Structure 1
Amino acid sequence: MKRIFRRCFIALCFIISAFSAEAQFDNIVNKTPAERYTALRKFIDLSISNGNRADGYKSLETLKQVAIKHNDQDLVLETELMLIMLNREAHKDDHKQHIMDLHALITKSQKAGNKQIHIRARRFLAHLYWYDTQNYERAFEEYLTIHPMLKKISEKDFPEKAYFLTQIGEAYYFFADYRNAINFSREALTVEVIKEQRGVHNLAMNTIGLSYMKTGLLDSADSYFKKILQHVGIDDYNVWKGIAQGALGQTAYLRGKYDQAIPLLQANVNQALIISDYDQAARSLTLLSDIYFRQGKISEAEKAMLQARGCIAHSGMKKPLEQLFQVYGKVYAAKGNFALTNVYLDSATHMRNLFEKDFNSMQMLRASEKAQLQAHRADMEHIAAEKQIKTLERNILLTLVLLLLMVALYFYKTYYYKTREKQRIVNDQLKKAEQELTFATIQLEEFTKSISEKNLLVEKLSARYGMNESEETVLELQKITILTDEQWEYFRSLFEQIHTGYLSRLKTKLPGLTPAEVRFMALAKLNLTYKEMASTLGISVQSVRVIRHRIRKKLNLPEEADLKDVVSTI
């Protein structure tokens, strides 16, 4: 009797647990995506993001069984997506398997006609490409595939629509395509959001403001940062207030309004440290250290520098180091430690070159072109197939004529695609040449700008500390601007890309020029002043004049003739 009672009790417990498991999913089963959005977000937070993997797998298995029992196929796909998310949290290095699982789910959701799972799976795939494998080109392909689908679905059916648009905008901002960053973020602002997504509009406005700031439209940037201050909720007030204050502090810094910038940047630092956003804190501290340097507060600048360096170490983000190293160079130059000045200026240049290499916006351009070409081909094939089917249905009695037409169409399409492909290759080559020329032009401008900035730094420091050109300190500073042979070779390659054949024509027209005179003519082509030429060549201004005199003599130029006219005609 006891045994029977025990078995009944166990069975009863099992039934109760089964009913309780189903009961907790009543607000999820057989609901629309919008109706179960909030409940699913809570379920994800509890089962995937809480760190307890075993409980997470158990909860997902229970949810899947409930979905199967109630024949909720959309919820089955939802659990499969969440399982991939959990697997990624549990096995972060197994990128290949996660990507394969997502591709399988994308195919399955397409067959089932589930648009919201299809979009979310592709968005998560883009996330993996971006953050786990750093394959930015593939990530942009997914984003560009998602966007047309987002246009065809309403925010009521897909509550995450605005958030996904802001992510695309952020991706473009990351690659310095500010026009597209603004366009996608503005599109996100036109989408209504639910309570759980209210911070998305702040994110979009922040991206727009930062994009305007990068393009020098500071008033437009300020207008969006101020809108954020007017558009914050109770729970996220301090976070977004700190972000907006930091952004307004940056625009004040760029305007040179340092007294206005300091309290805003400091407020941003304080809030960022509260939420452990060390990257944001490091950026504001770097600006503060530069402001203190400009105000002559060297000790405060050093304190802010050290704090910024500590925040960068915590965040692991190296991007702020470029500007921070520049501030280090200025501070150590002011303290007379020119060895460390050189080290930090070189480090700043190295960091800039490193990031330019790692994050090349050309990847985005290639992804865009590839996606557009694939979409165009797919549309053409789809149109051709429909046309053939309709023609066959309407003209079943004219099979022979239709066959001839199809053969003719095949040859026409073959010729069309070959011609189009050749034109595409020509266009690609032209675009590549233009891009290389643009890049070389920017690099050469930065090269000459660097010479001017370093020369100006020497002059400012000399003026500030009352040093004359004969003093050893000034001579040490001037060594910073002298180019090495290796740098001359790099300069020569950039110069040849912009002014193709100039040096060859110069040797042909003036075969007797010395290397120093050739360099003088190259720098003269860039309209450098004699002082900048002297700094670059590591000689005195008088020596530059002597070189100019020798060239004039070789050219038999009269005194009233301008050497610049000769330079411009070569």
Structure 2
Amino acid sequence: MKDLLPNRFIILLSLLTLIYWQASAQFEHIINKTHAERYTVIRQFIGLHLNTADTIESFKSIQKLREVAIKAKDEDLILESDLLLMLQKSQIRKESPRTLIHGIREVIKKGEDANNLQIQIRARMLLRHLYWYQTKNYELAFEQYLKIYPLLKKTTGKEFPEKAYTLTQIGEAYYFFADFRNAVRFCREALTVEVIEDHRGVHNTAMNTIGLCFVKQGRLDSADVYFERILANVGINDYAVWKGIAQGGLGLTNYLRGNYDKAMPLLKSNVDQALIIGDPDQAAKSLTLMSDIYFRTNRISMAAETMVRARESVRRSGLLKPLEQLYQIFGKVYATQGNLLLTNAYLDSANHIKDQLANEFNSIQMLRATEKAQLQSHRAALERVAAEKQIKTLERNILLILMVLLIVVLFYFYKTHYYKVREKQRIINDQLIKAEQELTFSTLQLEEFRRSISEKNLLVEELSARYGINVSEETRQELQKSTILTDEQWEYFRGLFEKIHSGYLHRLREKLPGLTPAETRFMALAKLNLTYKEMASTLGISVQSVRVIRHRIRKKLNIPEEADLNTVVETI
């Protein structure tokens, strides 16, 4: 039993691998290919898996495609699977328009982010289809066309095989709203686009729309040119279809000219082809024209027979437009038969249908005009909001700029003030350094001066002590004279003294205004702690004279004899 479990697991894994390999092999030839290279395969995929009522199987097929794309890192194919899923939700699951619109817009956004033109165009075409046929919002549908067209200009028919078809669709939309000038414009541009073999009929559609536009404008010869071009462009596979359509167009132009002999065989051929391919719309239109021709050519019985066939085709087609003309023919035929009751009934019905069609067309035109006005109003509101937002943004930017400028100005003034303060501080510091240097220098000079006086006094004393009487009085006097301050030396000494003891002499004069120059010099020398001998030598007087000066100063300061004069000197 234990041995069977691994075997079953291996078998199951092998089956899953085989299934996945088959899914991968199914899409292997379209992986990392361009849209044009895998266009036919994607069309076949859509025809096989999306034109079915089996929601689950179609969803699984799309998921398989997505898984293969993710494994192969094929971003374009991943977007393709996203778009196919929205197509499946629209055609098979019939989800709500609101949900579909949201989902399709997400696919468009992904296409824009990936700069994938073909996804953007096809997703917008699906959104256009949703607006046109489900929500009946024609203006939003036209808005999609306006966004699609610039994208189409960036690609070619080889790169995007649906280009001619898309342009033709735009032209037909303008034809529906009787904007024949734009209808012709877009259809003519479609004719300039190269198409693949499968899309050859797109050119015929464009030429048929142009021809019908010219018919509406009364330009019958120009219409014939394009109907004839369709006949020249038909191929083996689509010959019967487009030959019948072109002959129906040519039959219409000849009918409008009154060339009934030419119109009749062309219209008959169109009816035959329409019945073969099961197109009751064309049959109804041509049979109506034929019945009118029969009536106009006085073949009443043929007119009556043909108008009955026409009414059956109208019934099968569900169109109202042919009934307007057909009921007029019924009225005319019954009038010739003398049946006035039926004549009036059909003519009234014809007028009623005419009014109904006119009202419907006018309603559609009015609806589009209203939608356009609403859209313009919405755009105006959005523009107004955007403008207000822009103004607010501008105001915010201006405020930010002003704030930045204010910060810059404040920073400038701050830096200027900072540099000024720093410069001022630097000057003060330089001045302080200079003052300190000068003070140091002055202190040294004054100390050198005091030391010099002391040394000279010691020298005189040494000489006197050593040689006694041998030292001549003249030599002693010369040595003493070298220590005496001259007036010039005193001024220099005073300058040094003021630098060291700033304001001392000024305070001394304020406290003792009556001091003599000798007493002032005494006080200065006392401040330097010179002895009486050094003072006497410096002042050129005797020691006794120094004591006399000190005594006079004591009296002026009222200092008793036992008090220390040096204390007073230091306090000044």
What TM-score, normalized to structure 1? 0.64
SS of equivalent residue, structure 1 residue 104:
helix
Letter in 1 for 2:245: I
- In the TM superposition, residue 327 of structure 1 has moved relative to its aligned partner by 1.4
Q: What corresponds to 2:570 in structure 1?
A: none
Structure 1: distance between partners of 2:356 and 2:95: 25
Q: What corresponds to 1:178 in structure 2?
A: 180
- Seq. identity, %: 52
Structure 2: distance between partners of 1:18 and 1:100: 32
Letter in 1 for 2:266: L
- In the TM superposition, residue 319 of structure 1 has moved relative to its aligned partner by 2.2
- In the TM superposition, residue 260 of structure 1 has moved relative to its aligned partner by 1.1
Structure 2: distance between partners of 1:234 and 1:174: 30
- In the TM superposition, residue 373 of structure 1 has moved relative to its aligned partner by 8.6
Q: What corresponds to 1:238 in structure 2?
A: 240
> Would you say 1:306 and 2:308 are equivalent positions?
yes
Q: What corresponds to 2:197 in structure 1?
A: 195
Deviations 1:456-500 (A, max 9, x none): xxxxxxxxxxxxxxxxxxxxxxxxxxxxxxxxxxxxxxxxxxxxx
Aligned residues: 402
Residues 250 and 263 in structure 2, CA contact (< 8 A), matched pair in contact too: yes
Structure 1: distance between partners of 2:228 and 2:149: 29
Structure 1: distance between partners of 2:22 and 2:312: 50
Moved more, 271-280 or 90-99: 90-99
> Which consecutive aligned stretches of 4+ in structure 1 deviate over 6 angstroms post-superposition?
368-390, 395-398
Pick from 134, 139, 156 the counterpart of residue 154 of structure 1: 156
Moved more, 160-169 or 122-131: 122-131
Deviations 1:81-119 (A, max 9, x none): 212222222244743433332233223333333222121
Q: What corresponds to 2:333 in structure 1?
A: 331
Q: What corresponds to 1:89 in structure 2?
A: 91
Alignment of 1:74-153 (within 5 A): 74-92=76-94, 94-153=96-155
Structure 2: distance between partners of 1:46 and 1:356: 41
- In the TM superposition, residue 199 of structure 1 has moved relative to its aligned partner by 0.9
> Would you say 1:292 and 2:294 are equivalent positions?
yes
Q: What corresponds to 2:471 in structure 1?
A: none
Q: What corresponds to 1:207 in structure 2?
A: 209
Q: What corresponds to 2:517 in structure 1?
A: none
Structure 2: distance between partners of 1:337 and 1:18: 75
Structure 2's unaligned 5+ residue stretches are 406-572
Q: What corresponds to 1:280 in structure 2?
A: 282
Residues 285 and 305 in structure 1, CA contact (< 8 A), matched pair in contact too: yes
Residues 174 and 180 in structure 2, CA contact (< 8 A), matched pair in contact too: yes
Instruction: Report the CA distance shift for 1:100/1:331 in structure 2 as closer, same or farther (over 3 A).
Output: farther
Structure 2: distance between partners of 1:372 and 1:144: 14
Instruction: Report the CA distance shift for 1:48/1:263 in structure 2 as closer, same or farther (over 3 A).
Output: same
Structure 1's unaligned 5+ residue stretches are 404-570
Q: What corresponds to 1:352 in structure 2?
A: 354
Pick from 25, 28, 51 the counterpart of residue 26 of structure 1: 28
Structure 2: distance between partners of 1:402 and 1:182: 58
Instruction: Report the CA distance shift for 1:111/1:48 in structure 2 as closer, same or farther (over 3 A).
Output: same
Letter in 1 for 2:323: L
Letter in 1 for 2:47: D
Alignment of 1:392-541 (within 5 A): 399-400=401-402
Q: What corresponds to 1:471 in structure 2?
A: none
Structure 1: distance between partners of 2:380 and 2:73: 38
What's the RMSD between the two structures over aligned residues? 3.3
What TM-score, normalized to structure 2? 0.64
| Higher RCO (C-alpha under 8 Å, 6+ residues apart) | 1
- In the TM superposition, residue 36 of structure 1 has moved relative to its aligned partner by 1.3
Letter in 2 for 1:192: E
Letter in 2 for 1:278: P
Structure 1: distance between partners of 2:137 and 2:318: 20
Instruction: Report the CA distance shift for 1:235/1:102 in structure 2 as closer, same or farther (over 3 A).
Output: same
Determine which structure has more spread, i.e. the larger CA radius of gyration. Answer: 2
Deviations 1:328-349 (A, max 9, x none): 1211112111222222222222
Q: What corresponds to 1:259 in structure 2?
A: 261
Deviations 1:280-331 (A, max 9, x none): 1111111111111111222221222121211122222222221211211211
- In the TM superposition, residue 176 of structure 1 has moved relative to its aligned partner by 1.2
- In the TM superposition, residue 263 of structure 1 has moved relative to its aligned partner by 1.2
Residues 89 and 95 in structure 2, CA contact (< 8 A), matched pair in contact too: no
Instruction: Report the CA distance shift for 1:104/1:93 in structure 2 as closer, same or farther (over 3 A).
Output: closer
Deviations 1:366-414 (A, max 9, x none): 6667778988999999999999999x9xx999933999xxxxxxxxxxx
- In the TM superposition, residue 186 of structure 1 has moved relative to its aligned partner by 0.6
Residues 227 and 249 in structure 2, CA contact (< 8 A), matched pair in contact too: yes
Structure 2: distance between partners of 1:308 and 1:402: 82
Instruction: Report the CA distance shift for 1:204/1:357 in structure 2 as closer, same or farther (over 3 A).
Output: same
Instruction: Report the CA distance shift for 1:29/1:371 in structure 2 as closer, same or farther (over 3 A).
Output: farther
Instruction: Report the CA distance shift for 1:401/1:244 in structure 2 as closer, same or farther (over 3 A).
Output: farther
Structure 2: distance between partners of 1:91 and 1:152: 34
Residues 188 and 206 in structure 2, CA contact (< 8 A), matched pair in contact too: yes
Structure 2: distance between partners of 1:337 and 1:402: 94
Instruction: Report the CA distance shift for 1:141/1:346 in structure 2 as closer, same or farther (over 3 A).
Output: farther
SS of equivalent residue, structure 2 residue 321:
coil
Structure 2: distance between partners of 1:380 and 1:186: 38
> Would you say 1:247 and 2:223 are equivalent positions?
no
Structure 2: distance between partners of 1:298 and 1:401: 93
Instruction: Report the CA distance shift for 1:119/1:68 in structure 2 as closer, same or farther (over 3 A).
Output: same
Pick from 57, 60, 66 the counterpart of residue 58 of structure 1: 60
- In the TM superposition, residue 78 of structure 1 has moved relative to its aligned partner by 1.4
Instruction: Report the CA distance shift for 1:11/1:158 in structure 2 as closer, same or farther (over 3 A).
Output: same
